Amino acid sequence: MAPGARARARARQARRRRRWILFGSLAVVVALLLPMGTSYVTALTESGSTESPFQRTVQWVRSHGGNGLVNTVERWYYTTIAAPKKGGRPDKLEAIGVRDQATPRQTTATTAPLRALSTPPPTTPVPTPAPVPESGEGVWVPSGRLVDGQPAIYTTWVRPDSVRTSYIVTLMWMDPKLLKFTYVPGTKQPGGGPNPWGSMIPVEERGSLVAAFNSGFQMVHARGGANVAGEEVVPMRDGAATLVVKSDGSADVGMWGRDFQMSPDIAAARQNLELLLDNYQLNPELRENDTSAFGATVGNNVYVWRSGICVLPSGGLVYAAGPAQSVLSLAKTLQAVGCVRGMELDINHDWTTAYLFSSPDPNLPQNVVGEKLHPDMSRDGTRYLEPGVVDFFALFADPTYPTPTTTTTTTTTAPPSKRGR
């Protein structure tokens, strides 16, 4: 086993031990709530969901008035036994690279011969906050399945800050002209409303599947709402940070009520807290040790797994995820990418997951394999291929083609001759 692989294996074992300590602490909380034990057992044994007992326990305690207790336990856990170390260097990383060719979802005889439109890919390296850059750090690499022969995803990585230099944040750039975004509700989140896919990516859609990533907080903590297929499942809030999916399949990040409002152009929308980044500037309420503006987390002074998404001036979107981040360091990473507006998505190791998909057998494109965007993400690549309690976003090969130019030839008719009369 290579040194990097051994180090990752040791880290996984340590995380498992720490998780069981956290699980045991939460079990004590559950024991204090025994009058509601039947509800807990039902949640723990409910079928049709891939979440672990630990994940179900956390969700159940939060949803039964124990959010403050969970936050206290998590704060102790992440500031003591699971506190990220300072200094060091990351393990050697291998770029995911380009895989196979995805099957476009929409191809017609009139569009097939045309070259698909694409958004200019990122070329400027992302600056690292670390004192000394590592080889390949911040350099964008084409990754994932090709769409119409072109890369639709680029990935790179940077360190989260100048202190925790052995950790990395992975970045995924997504082309909204080659890819189409789809918002997929979970069995529990956002709760109610249309759910035609049964909280997973159907087999018949997987031939065009390119990537997928997590959504935001539980709705009770997101300080916002959700719209699914034009139906307001949870009331939308003006001023909230919002990831919208438009009717043409493109996506955008902004403030609801200012940048977006409900219209036929919006197919889905998911809100989560307030914008971290607006007009290229950090939210002035962000503080490394302040929980007043973004307090629906385990604490901004706690360095945990976090994820976010932002939009570039070109219209391209960037998803970011990794460990050892404060909400402020996440916002600074989105700013370093060059984004105009950005927002936080979900946090903590069990919920922060993203994958690039490929098909090993070209004759069976629907038999996809998911590869983690970050090597230390906790869930394997089947997470969004099976029903889950939380919502997520999936990206499919559905390229935008230019409108064919029709050349019209005008025939000039000569005036009738007067000869012969």
Please give the pLDDT value at position 222.
93
pLDDT digits (tens, 9 = 90+) for 107-126: 544 445 688 999 999 999 99
| Integer angstrom CA distances of residue 384 from 80, 185, 205, 218, 317 | 32, 11, 12, 17, 20
- In this structure, the number of other CB atoms found within 10 A of the CB of residue 53 comes to 12
The pTM of this model reads: 0.83
- Please give the order of strands across the beta sheet that includes 231-234: 231-234, 226-228, 266-271, 241-246, 251-255
Please give the pLDDT value at position 419.
37
Instruction: Return d(Cα 311, Cα 255) in angstroms, integer.
Output: 12
Where do the domains of the chain lie?
Answer: 3-79, 98-397
Taking a C-beta distance cutoff of 8 angstroms, is the pair 200, 387 a contact? yes
Residue 105: name the closest of 197, 209, 175 by CA.
209
Side chain identity at 56, as an amino acid letter? R
The parts of the chain modelled with pLDDT lower than 50 are: 108-111, 296, 410-421
Please give the pLDDT value at position 3.
54
Residues of the chain with pLDDT > 90, as a percent, come to 61
Please give the pLDDT value at position 287.
76
Sort 228 into a burial class: Cβ within 10 Å, 0-12 / 13-18 / 19+: buried
Instruction: Return d(Cα 191, Cα 202) in angstroms, integer.
Output: 20
Please give the pLDDT value at position 111.
46
Instruction: Return d(Cα 20, Cα 34) in angstroms, integer.
Output: 20
pLDDT digits (tens, 9 = 90+) for 13-42: 666 666 666 666 556 555 555 555 666 666
190: preceding bond cis by omega (within 30 degrees) = yes
Please give the pLDDT value at position 45.
61
